[in-house]
């Protein structure tokens, strides 16, 4: 593939320092492309200067010196790794990115699988067999520079892409369009330049530099007044949600809340040979029936293989010191990577069966003890989602009770009519809640704080 790079120059008087930083970025970007490199600079008057060569920039650094001057405004660059499907034995300058049209200059990371169809549909001619070369003539012919219109064109592309685009008619701005191919942005205030490239490592940024990962499936326009416009490529509204449900308080309130908000929900439950498996399974079935929603059950032996947790049958004793307070304050019953595995399976099912989002009962209370209940876990998984699903199949990740503690979850559950009486919270699988494990302690205290009677029975 490639690494794409772009620069929007705010302070042209710093062009020499900006040039040095650009060269360093291109040298670091060789790990994503060593077959060729190219740089095209747009001047204030719309004229261009360019350097293109086979091989690495690190071995031909001298070719890049002097490419900028005090009139330089936009830089579009590329480090290319030649895909097997686009091998060209005798390469010319026409085969090296960036590609230049009459108005637009484009650098592309990814593969356009329908380049031949696009050439016919838009009635354009490219100068090389390289797929990316079809884009500039299409933009020249059909794009007026507004990002809303660019979105319509990009919707016709089948494949993967991160484009950085320069406009000769308006050299005071730069465009970035991407589906799941990454682009990072860094604003260097001292140099007065905004840099873009495929990986943040290439910036060699300090702790005080402003580095941002641009959202996948988005188009971004940045001008030299430091104004940013952004639109999403996917206009998907969330309707169907797959809710990971244990049969406990948190996931039941989360599911009920989403249902009351008008979402179509399906419960997803995992049977993984844990001590409370039968009781949780019984509970989640009753909850699904009460809410009148579908239930998907998954039986797995995976955690028997992983082991190393007392939560499983035969895994050892549950911690019950200090009437359960000890278990509420520390993750004694930690199951290795459980929520990550559950989330990954949920994501796969959501993609395969057309759910718009996944959700769970992850909350602020249990984040104090369990790393995979931390809100940051959900946020980072949400950022991972576009890179773990197929093209244009982005699945959102929701946390309806993520900012609530246990007594707030109980309060919300009562207010929205969640079937709290059907839930099972205990780590044990007895006829009644044991009343001494961490979840039992938190549950009892949550109802007590709200001045409510807990509708479930306890052994003690």
Count, residues in the chain:
460
CA 257 – CA 241 distance, rounded (Å): 12
38 is in an annotated binding site: no
Q: State yes or no: is 2 an active-site residue.
A: yes
Does 301 show up as a binding residue in the annotation?
A: no
Q: Is 385 annotated as a binding residue?
A: no
Annotated ligand binding at 252? The verdict is yes
426 is in an annotated binding site: yes
Q: Does the annotation list 356 as a binding residue?
A: no
> What DSSP character marks residue 222?
E
Q: Is 253 annotated as a binding residue?
A: yes
Asked whether 4 and 164 are in contact (CB, 8 A), the reply is yes
Per the CB < 8 A criterion, the answer to whether 256 and 263 are in contact is: no
Q: Are 291 and 251 in contact (CB under 8 A)?
A: no
Instruction: Determine phi and psi for 17, rounding to 5 degrees.
Output: -70, -35
How far is the CA of 330 from the CAs of 326, 336, 346, in angstroms?
Answer: 7, 15, 27
Q: Classify the C-alpha dihedral 342-160-18-147 as positive or negative.
A: negative
- The answer on whether 434 is annotated among ligand-binding residues is yes
Of 2, 26, 176, 284, the active-site residue reads 2
* Residue 440 assigned as binding residue: yes
List, edge to edge, every strand of the sheet that includes 396-398. 295-299, 264-271, 240-244, 357-359, 396-398
Q: Are 33 and 80 in contact (CB under 8 A)?
A: yes
> Is 331 annotated as ligand-binding?
no
Q: Is 249 annotated as a binding residue?
A: yes
What strands, in cross-sheet order, belong to the sheet with 162-167?
Answer: 99-100, 104-109, 162-167, 173-178, 218-223, 228-232
Residue numbering of the annotated binding site for ATP: 245-255
Annotated binding site: 245-255, 426, 434, 437, 440
Which of the residues are catalytic?
Answer: 2
Binding residues for Zn(2+): 426, 434, 437, 440
């Amino acid at each position: 593939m490639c690494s794409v790079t772009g620069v929007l120059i705010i302070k042209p008087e710093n062009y020499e320092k900006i040039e040095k930083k650009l060269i360093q970025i291109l040298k670091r970007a060789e790990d994503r492309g060593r077959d060729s490199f190219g740089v095209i600079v747009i001047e204030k008057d719309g004229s261009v200067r360019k350097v293109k060569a086979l091989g690495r920039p690190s071995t031909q650094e001298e070719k890049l010196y002097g490419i900028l001057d005090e009139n330089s405004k936009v830089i579009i660059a590329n480090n290319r790794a030649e895909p097997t499907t686009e091998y060209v034995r005798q390469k010319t300058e026409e085969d090296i990115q960036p590609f230049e049209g009459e108005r637009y200059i484009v650098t592309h990371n990814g593969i356009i699988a329908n380049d031949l169809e696009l050439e016919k549909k838009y009635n354009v001619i490219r100068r090389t067999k390289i797929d990316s070369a079809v884009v500039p003539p299409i933009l020249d012919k059909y794009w007026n520079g507004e990002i809303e219109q660019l979105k319509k064109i990009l919707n016709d592309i089948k494949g993967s892409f991160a484009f950085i685009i320069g406009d000769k008619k308006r050299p005071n701005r730069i465009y970035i369009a991407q589906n799941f191919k990454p682009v990072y942005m860094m604003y260097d205030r001292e140099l007065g330049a905004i840099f873009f490239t495929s990986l943040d490592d290439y910036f060699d940024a300090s702790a005080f530099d402003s580095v941002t990962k641009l959202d996948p499936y988005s188009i971004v326009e940045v001008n030299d007044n430091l104004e940013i416009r952004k639109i999403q490529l996917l206009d998907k509204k969330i309707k169907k949600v797959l809710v990971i449900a244990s049969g406990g308080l948190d996931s039941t309130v989360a599911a009920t809340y989403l249902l009351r908000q008008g979402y179509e929900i399906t419960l997803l439950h995992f049977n993984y040979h844990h001590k409370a498996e039968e009781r949780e399974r019984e509970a989640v079935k009753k909850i699904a029936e009460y809410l009148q929603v579908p239930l998907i059950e998954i039986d797995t032996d995976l955690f028997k293989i992983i082991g190393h947790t007392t939560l499983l049958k035969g895994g050892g004793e549950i911690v019950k010191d200090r009437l359960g307070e000890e278990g509420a304050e520390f993750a004694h019953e930690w199951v290795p990577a459980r929520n990550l595995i559950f989330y990954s399976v949920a994501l796969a099912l959501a993609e395969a069966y057309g759910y718009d989002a996944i959700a769970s009962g992850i909350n602020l209370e249990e984040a104090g003890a369990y790393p995979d209940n931390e809100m940051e876990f959900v946020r980072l998984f949400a950022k991972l989602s576009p890179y773990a699903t197929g093209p244009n199949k982005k699945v959102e990740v929701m946390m309806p009770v993520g900012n609530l503690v246990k007594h707030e979850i109980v309060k919300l559950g009562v207010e929205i009519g969640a079937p709290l009486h059907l839930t099972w919270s205990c780590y044990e699988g007895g006829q009644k809640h044991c009343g001494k494990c961490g979840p039992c302690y938190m549950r009892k205290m949550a109802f007590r704080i709200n001045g409510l009677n807990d509708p479930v029975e306890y052994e003690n």
